[in-house]
Chains A and B, each alone.
Chain A
Amino acid sequence: MTKPTAAEREKFEPWNDPTARPLVEFRNVTKNFGSFTAVDDLSLSIYEREFFALLGPSGCGKTTLMRMVAGFCEPSEGEVWLAGENITHMPPYQRPVNMMFQSYALFPHMNIEQNIAFGLKQEKMAKSEIADRVGEMLTLTKMQDFAKRKPDQLSGGQKQRAALARSLAKQPKVLLLDEPLGALDRKLREETQFELMDLQERLGITFMIVTHDQEEAMTVADRIAVMEQGKLIQIASPRDIYEHPGNRYVADFVGDINFIEGIAQSTNDELIKIETADGLIVECNSAASIDKNQQVWFAARPEKLTVSRENPVVTGSNAVEGEVWDIAYLGDMSCYNIRTDAGKILKVTQLNHSRTSDAPITWEERVWVSWTNDAGMVLTS
């Protein structure tokens, strides 16, 4: 239950270790509901001690995938393995996994203590042992003062903690979290995210979280799987998902992004030159292999672009002139929508470093949007 050191945390990449054995494994899993395919021939490995996030819009099959681990849903095809055991057809009450439900699903006729003890009682654990474990869980989730309360006498945040305590009490091999923080307000949600990470590191239990909130997935997870229409689009660390999205879908789903469509002109090994239909030249450092005259998309995050009154670029590329179309002042930063002369809207964000600015950029002003050679990436699909 000790916190891993920074070095250990840096090293934690079992998915890159060919000798590591996955804890949870989906083998060519398909799930059909009538004519609708919720999960489509999907294979995925999740490793011990990992905090794994399934991210995607509603209806992408992420919840179905999680329910297959819990045992509430049997795959139409394929197998689910847990710790080297085929659990595809094992009933939920025999699986060494526990789930924290989106609605918390606390038993309304039992107090919090009884709720936490419920799973332990099913194991026929000795009474004194149950009491010890319940106490431990209450301390862990800071719910000691609420042990005798009934669920409907708790706030949303307290219910969430109680549900967490209940699902952790049996020390599952995998803890499944179905949109665990969806019902909390923003401040509490952010706090709880860090607590969840902390808890996961201390207990060393594998966490699998389902969420549609990309910020939440980025905050808590070691790896994120982005899903769409029952398929995995990309599995990577939060940083890679954000900075190196595999395609336009992932790039667009995770965070804000600007796309500039164009034709690859010269494809020097390291530098790709793209020309758009209206004559804008974009130069971008990229290792991607791209053919000459191939249609590509240059993609850049809003914070990687700069907005200024004068054109700061000498070479004539990576800069476009436009008009300030919209400004959103968010406090810590400002978000500009710049309408280029070709009629395209570019999103640019800039941190508000100083509290006072003599002449802030304002509506309908003529400005330049510029970026460096490694501000963005080149995507082909």
Chain B
Amino acid sequence: MSGDVANKTNDGFLRRNLIGKATIWLPYIWLLLFFLAPFIIVFKISFSEIVVAMPPYRPIFDIGDGITQLWQSFRKFSFENYIFLTEDSLYWKAYLSSLKIALFSTALTLLIGYPLAYGIAKSPRNIRFILLMLVVLPFWTSFLIRVYAWIGILKKEGLFNQLLLSIGAIDTPLTLLNTNIAVYIGIVYSYLPFMVLPLYAALEKQDETLLEAAEDLGCTRLKAFWTITFPLSYPGIIAGCFLVFIPAVGEFVIPYLLGGADTLMIGKLLWTEFFANRDWPVSSAVAVILLLILVLPIMYFQQSQARAQEAAK
């Protein structure tokens, strides 16, 4: 009888334990299925050879192959596609150009987003929500349509030029569309909410009395901002910059629609390799390298963060 009871509670405990484990593992399973598995496929393709076929590459091995076959394919295993990337200057130029464009546009987004987030965080509580809604509102329209709309604004006879002409600021319309400037505008515009939201979260929870304490100890308002508010918002700045920088590096739609022929970005290149040249192995290699460029610094950063936290204890 008592054994029964013990068993029952034991069962309950086990079940709860299982559910607990499952909730922890769920995100991992998700990542495994939708991130790691596709990545492994891409990774595998990047080592294969291009052929005119369906799909357009020769697999390096098949799961159905025997052990000897597998061994054979491993011996044929080559970094040819990666070596190709280093031989053609187009690729590393595209990587560098992408990083440069992403870096500049992240800096610009921070420059515009910080005052915006600060203003929202300091505004009266009752209108804060409305202001935040306005920041998020553009997401309710398709990204593609919003970028298309910028063509209408930036083109020679577009809204922006008409405005400048009508107020007499310029005599001849400016060439903005299909330049890097248009790409910057597009990226800053599209990713601004990703910068504003984490910054707002970091600024909003800051204790006002810290600023009073700084003033009390001899700081002007401006100095108090730079010594207290700004350093305390680092987590928001870092999160916002990552959220803008990472997708901006691989951005395809914005340089494709707003950029010119000389706008060199890795996303555009990837598209060309994949769909125009149908060179899946090389484009896979391009994607793998891109991932490494992005993931390695982040991992390094996270490790140094963790070490700093450990050291503080």
Question: Are B215 and A105 closer than 8 Å at their CB atoms?
Answer: no
Question: Are A105 and B212 closer than 8 Å at their CB atoms?
Answer: yes
Report chain B residues within 8 Å CB of A189. Answer: none
Give the number of A-B contacts (CB < 8 Å): 60
Question: Are A118 and B217 closer than 8 Å at their CB atoms?
Answer: yes
Contact of A105 among B210, B218, B219, B312 (CB under 8 A): B210
B214 to chain A, nearest CB (A): 7
A155 to chain B, nearest CB (A): 15
Within 8 A of B (CB), among A93-124: 93, 97-99, 101, 103, 105-109, 118-119, 122-123
Question: Are A92 and B216 closer than 8 Å at their CB atoms?
Answer: yes
Report chain A residues within 8 Å CB of B220. Answer: 91, 93
Contact of B312 among A70, A72, A97, A150 (CB under 8 A): A150
Residue of A nearest to B206 (CB): A108
- Chain B interface size, as a band, is 10 to 19
Question: Are B210 and A153 closer than 8 Å at their CB atoms?
Answer: no
Report chain B residues within 8 Å CB of A99. Answer: 212-213, 216
Residue of A nearest to B223 (CB): A122
Q: Does A161 contact B (CB under 8 A)?
A: no
Contact of A153 among B209, B214, B215, B313 (CB under 8 A): B313
Q: Does A170 contact B (CB under 8 A)?
A: yes
- What is the bound-complex CA distance between A123 and B217, given in angstroms? 9
Residue of A nearest to B313 (CB): A153
Question: Are B212 and A72 closer than 8 Å at their CB atoms?
Answer: yes
B130-172 Cβ-contact flags toward A at 8 Å (1 or 0): 0000000000000000000000000000000000000000000
Question: Are A109 and B209 closer than 8 Å at their CB atoms?
Answer: no
Q: Does A166 contact B (CB under 8 A)?
A: yes
Residue of B nearest to A108 (CB): B232
Question: Are A101 and B213 closer than 8 Å at their CB atoms?
Answer: yes
Report chain A residues within 8 Å CB of B218. Answer: 93, 119, 122-123, 170
Question: Are A109 and B231 closer than 8 Å at their CB atoms?
Answer: yes
- What is the bound-complex CA distance between A97 and B218, given in angstroms? 10
Report chain A residues within 8 Å CB of B209. Answer: 101, 103, 105
A287-318 Cβ-contact flags toward B at 8 Å (1 or 0): 00000000000000000000000000000000
- What is the bound-complex CA distance between A72 and B215, given in angstroms? 9
Question: Are B207 and A93 closer than 8 Å at their CB atoms?
Answer: no
- What is the bound-complex CA distance between A166 and B214, given in angstroms? 11
A63 to chain B, nearest CB (A): 12
A161 to chain B, nearest CB (A): 16
Question: Are B217 and A98 closer than 8 Å at their CB atoms?
Answer: yes
Given A70-B216, A99-B216, verify A107-B210 contact (CB < 8 Å): yes
Question: Are A101 and B212 closer than 8 Å at their CB atoms?
Answer: yes
Given A92-B212, A108-B232, A153-B313, verify A103-B219 contact (CB < 8 Å): no
Question: Are A103 and B212 closer than 8 Å at their CB atoms?
Answer: no
Known A71-B215, A93-B219, A119-B218; further 20 A-B contacts with Cβ < 8 A: A70-B216, A71-B216, A72-B212, A92-B215, A93-B217, A93-B220, A98-B216, A98-B217, A99-B212, A105-B207, A105-B210, A107-B213, A108-B210, A108-B232, A109-B232, A118-B214, A122-B223, A123-B218, A167-B216, A170-B217
Which A residues are closer than 8 A to B by beta carbons? 70-72, 91-93, 97-99, 101, 103, 105-109, 118-119, 122-123, 150, 153, 166-167, 170
Q: List 20 A-B contacts (CB under 8 A).
A: A70-B212, A72-B212, A72-B216, A91-B220, A92-B212, A92-B215, A93-B219, A99-B212, A101-B209, A101-B212, A103-B207, A105-B207, A105-B213, A106-B213, A107-B214, A107-B228, A119-B218, A122-B217, A123-B218, A153-B313
Ranked nearest first, the 3 interchain pairs of A and B with the lowest CB-CB distance are A122-B218, A119-B217, A105-B213
